[in-house]
Amino acid sequence: MKITIKQLLLPLLSFVLISSAMAKTNAEATTTVALPTPTVAATPTLTPAPPELNAKGYVLLDANSGHIIAEKNASTHMPPASLTKLMTLYIIADSIHNNQINLDDKVKISNKAWHMGGSRMFVRAGSKVPIKDLIQGIIVASGNDATFAMAQYIGGTEPAFVSMMNQTAASLGMNNTHYSDSNGLPTKNHYSSPEDLAILARAWILNFPEYYPWFKQKWITYNKIKQPNRNRLLWRDPSVDGLKTGHTDAAGYCLIASAERNGMRLISVVMGTPTDSSRADDSEALLNYGFRFYESHKLYDANTPLTTPRIWFGKTEKIGFGLTKPLYITIPKGQYKKVKATISLSNTLKAPIKKGQSYGSVKITLSGKPIASEPLVALQDDPEAGFWSRSIDHVSLLFHSWF
């Protein structure tokens, strides 16, 4: 009777497969990852408490990391006044980005848009105005007429557009926001929060950088009427380049501002201040505090391998694992030496491995306290190898688990 090599090996392979399956080889390992060397080594400084402001609520946030540096009543519901228009402009930018509308499209102004009260761009009923002009009217003049016209143009009706606003807010994680109109005029069940508006401003900056320069325009002249941007910081501080003011009796004076200094971008949201000048002063105080006492660091790029572990039973023996987006941190100045990065990943990763799926995490600590965590994902697929390759890996893995 002739016995083949395969018949001789099958009992051994069966034993190995059973033993390998019983072996406890899925323990998670934690390893330290090297941090990049900072371009400038900041001197450690004392970090005082944030400035006390005469505002109902505020947030100071790092645009890159999303870290909140300072806050007061960050998640409290407050009337947003014309800060509402930042969401209207977000949907306009998204529609342009997706080629649904064009900057040169002309919008016919309805009688209802023409009759809107409050701040106005002074468009005329029946006229056709290019979208690029209406955008300037919304940002600089805070025109309720221009805002309503764009809501009708994109949504068909303002209620339909408001539904788009609420859906977008939900998708961005603005959990303390509900819109009832497109412009911020006092309406029932219309509210937001400092933190939500900071989230929206950050999304604006990260998702539509090509359109963000709209917000630094200082003047608009339309129908021979010249109007200034109400964001006083555009004249006062050259590092400030956005975003939007708001005011009603119920909301008080509000301002979302953003500035960039030495590669660090901060967003401040101030709501419910008593005067026009106080919203600018409070915003400036917050921004100066953040830039003076905090620093931002980019630790890792997206889609760059941070580790290349062994993959068992796969066609490729080793593949890279990394992040889906850049990882930034915000820390008090001079504390970078106390930052540590670790990777948590299974000791035995087994094919099939799917690109983009999370298999572990990257955790960042400052003086032992967690400050950031991101999923560690596979940067490529690794399908299962053939039978014999997998069998050899079973033998190797069994010895690996034993020793």
Answer whether residue 387 shows pLDDT above 70: no
Known catalytic residue at 142: yes
* Structure confidence at residue 19 as a pLDDT band (50, 70, 90): very low
Instruction: Give tens-digit pLDDT for 66-99.
Output: 999 999 999 999 999 999 999 999 999 999 999 9
* Structure confidence at residue 38 as a pLDDT band (50, 70, 90): confident
From CA 231, how far away is CA 233, in angstroms rounded?
Answer: 5
From CA 212, how far away is CA 193, in angstroms rounded?
Answer: 22
Quickly count: other Cβ atoms within 10 Å of residue 231's Cβ. Answer: 25
Domains of the chain in start order, with CATH, are 57-297 (3.40.710.10), 301-402 (2.60.410.10)
Give the model's pLDDT for residue 401: 57
Catalytic residue among 20, 65, 85, 182: 85
Q: Which amino acid is at 153?
A: Y
Catalytic residue among 142, 180, 193, 268: 142
Catalytic residue among 82, 180, 182, 258: 82
Helix locations, 3-118, DSSP H:
5-22, 85-97, 111-114
Average the pLDDT over 150-169 and give the result.
98
From CA 254, how far away is CA 362, in angstroms rounded?
Answer: 37
Answer whether residue 212 shows pLDDT above 60: yes
Alpha-carbon Rg of the chain, whole angstroms? 28
Instruction: Give tens-digit pLDDT for 239-253.
Output: 999 999 999 999 999
Q: Which amino acid is at 225?
A: I
Average the pLDDT over 105-116 and give the result.
96
From CA 388, how far away is CA 403, in angstroms rounded?
Answer: 23
Average the pLDDT over 212-237 and give the result.
96
pTM to 2 decimals?
0.89
Give the model's pLDDT for residue 313: 85
Instruction: Give tens-digit pLDDT for 314-358.
Output: 889 899 999 999 999 999 999 999 999 999 998 889 899 999 999
Q: Which of 8-12, 59-63, 84-88, 107-111 has the lowest mean pLDDT?
A: 8-12
Q: Give the pair of three-digit tokens for residue 23.
A: 């072996």
Within 50-169, strands assigned E span 57-62, 68-72, 106-108, 128-130
Peptide bond into 86 cis (omega under 30): no
Q: Give the pair of three-digit tokens for residue 345.
A: 């990943």
From CA 116, how far away is CA 307, in angstroms rounded?
Answer: 58
Answer whether residue 395 shows pLDDT above 90: no
Known catalytic residue at 325: no
- In eight-state DSSP terms, residue 353 is B
Instruction: Give tens-digit pLDDT for 112-141.
Output: 999 999 999 999 999 999 999 999 999 999
328 phi/psi in degrees, rounded to 5:
-115, 155
Known catalytic residue at 85: yes
At 83 the three-state DSSP class reads helix
